[in-house]
Amino acid sequence: MINGADTAFILASAGLVLLMTPGLALFYAGMVRGKNVLGTIMQSLTLIALISLEWVYIGYSMSFGPDIRGLIGDLSWFALRGVGTAPSETYATTIPHTVFMIFQCMFAVITPALIAGAFAERVKFSAFVVFSLLWAVLVYNPVCHWIWGGGWLAKMGVLDFAGGLVVHATCGVAALAAVMVIGPRRGFGQTNFMPHNLPMTMLGTGLLWFGWFGFNGGSALAADEVAATAFVATHLGGMSGMAMWTIMEWIRLGKPTTLGAASGAIAGLATITPAAGFVGPNAAIGIGLVAGVVCYLAVNMKSRFKFDDSLDVVGIHGVGGITGTLLLGVFASKTVNPNGVDGLLAGNASMLLTQLIGVVVVCSYAFIVSWLILKLVQALIGLRISEEAEHQGLDYTEHSETAYN
């Protein structure tokens, strides 16, 4: 039977997750140069339309449709055929099936948008659109089915409460592939690519943090004690990640920065995501503190490899998602979520091994397929804008607009 409170909660959560995509647009746009602001925003906003259409026609059915050998959902729900207002027999039995579908749609929208931060300021809009569509079909949908759609990793016991693997790890390793294939911005290592508007980035941080309560809390799929657990863990993970990153930066550079605080918050939120509904407050704080250290070190390692990950997608989302997925195998406790499992600290060492297998499989698959998609798009239409266009900026050359007079 449909529960009104659960339905209202998931509808509100879906709206919060949608808000994260414009929030991400502002978060990213503040960190690029002024000539690339609108081009950066456009990449996120466009995916609201593009991926939603893909989700309605094939994405939802591929991700959550009837299982084919644990690998993918069939297309029997093409164009949402059979997805009505009655509850789903498989996924969420107290809310309309359409509500579950639209909630999951918002996750599909923001995931490829996250990747765009890695190659900001240098990719053609047409190439971005083609890449994002292919990536959603060939990477996001299969991985989503493996873990959330009853696929083979779910049957193995791999857990991901709200997207440490499905969202953050996949976009992080895809970002790494993109950085390697596309190459650095012109002037990288010689030009100081300073953020043009950090207040805009801080506004984006706030919107992302606010939306994350729907991202993680809504993943309980009911207005219950698990949602409460996830809501509290989300805030504690985010705030402790921000605190630790600020401390690390203060010690290393002598001064804390607003960009560091924002980065730490997003790192903590990304890292707590896979574990949010399975751990208590103290474990959530611990996971956030680890995120502040690990993600800070990862971001600062990119210069050694000469990788131009423009907006730190690999170090924050990729490393954060992987770290959180593994720490779930350490801190998970049935006393927090009776429907979950115990982790290493509760005496179940095998859970950590299961999570490690999930990380290796998902990251390997996402990296290889992302690499192949990038090479295909590069061969067909080219990935990079011209040198002159890069000098003038995406706003004018790709969209005939300027953010500022």
Residue that the structure tokens 């240098």 belong to: 122
Assigned domain for 361 exists = yes
pLDDT band, residue 304 (cuts 50/70/90): confident
Assigned domain for 404 exists = no
156-191 in b/e form (b: 16+ CB < 10 A) is eebbbbbbbbbbbbbbbbbbbbbbebbeebeeeeee
Assigned domain for 347 exists = yes
- Stated as kind and residue range, the H or E segment containing 340 is none
Distance CA(206)–CA(269), nearest Å, equals 12
pTM of the entire predicted model: 0.96
Assigned domain for 70 exists = yes
Angle (CA) 47-48-54 rounded to 5° is 75
Mean per-residue pLDDT for 7-28? Answer: 98
Distance CA(351)–CA(329), nearest Å, equals 5
SS3 87: strand
Is pLDDT at 190 greater than 90 in this prediction?
no
Please, how many CA atoms are within 13 Å of residue 237, restricted to the half-sphere of its CB? 35
Assigned domain for 337 exists = yes
Above pLDDT 70, what percent of the chain?
A: 100
Q: What pLDDT, on a 0 to 100 scale, did the predictor assign at position 222?
A: 97
Q: What pLDDT, on a 0 to 100 scale, did the predictor assign at position 104?
A: 98
Is pLDDT at 191 greater than 90 in this prediction?
no
Is pLDDT at 303 greater than 90 in this prediction?
no
Please, how many CA atoms are within 13 Å of residue 16, restricted to the half-sphere of its CB? 20
Q: What pLDDT, on a 0 to 100 scale, did the predictor assign at position 68?
A: 97
Assigned domain for 84 exists = yes
Give the single-character DSSP code of 191.
Answer: B
- Count of beta carbons in the 10 Å neighbourhood of residue 88: 19
Assigned domain for 405 exists = no
Instruction: Check which CATH number belongs to the domain holding 369 and give it.
Output: 1.10.3430.10
Each residue's pLDDT tens digit, 193-242: 999 999 999 999 999 999 999 999 999 999 999 999 999 999 999 999 99
For the residues of 3-62, what is the DSSP string, one character each?
A: -HHHHHHHHHHHHHHHHHHHHHHHHHHTTS-GGGHHHHHHHHHHHHHHHHHHIIIIIHHH
Distance CA(4)–CA(50), nearest Å, equals 31
Give the single-character DSSP code of 270.
Answer: H
- Count of beta carbons in the 10 Å neighbourhood of residue 305: 12
Is pLDDT at 309 greater than 90 in this prediction?
yes
User: How many domains is the chain partitioned into structurally?
Assistant: 1
Q: What pLDDT, on a 0 to 100 scale, did the predictor assign at position 89?
A: 86
Each residue's pLDDT tens digit, 108-130: 999 999 999 999 999 999 999 99
Q: List 191's β-bridge partners, or say none.
A: 188
Tokens of 5: 């409170």
Assigned domain for 329 exists = yes
pLDDT band, residue 339 (cuts 50/70/90): confident
Q: What pLDDT, on a 0 to 100 scale, did the predictor assign at position 207?
A: 98
Terminal-residue alpha carbon distance, the chain: 56
Is pLDDT at 335 greater than 90 in this prediction?
yes
Distances (CA, A) of 319 to 170, 234, 275, 297, 315: 11, 17, 15, 10, 5
Q: List 244's β-bridge partners, or say none.
A: none
Distance CA(58)–CA(77), nearest Å, equals 8
Distance CA(48)–CA(41), nearest Å, equals 12
Q: What pLDDT, on a 0 to 100 scale, did the predictor assign at position 405?
A: 83
Each residue's pLDDT tens digit, 63-79: 999 999 999 999 999 99
Range of the domain at 271: 4-399
Distance CA(205)–CA(223), nearest Å, equals 25
Cα-Cα-Cα-Cα dihedral sign, residues 77, 79, 85, 91: positive
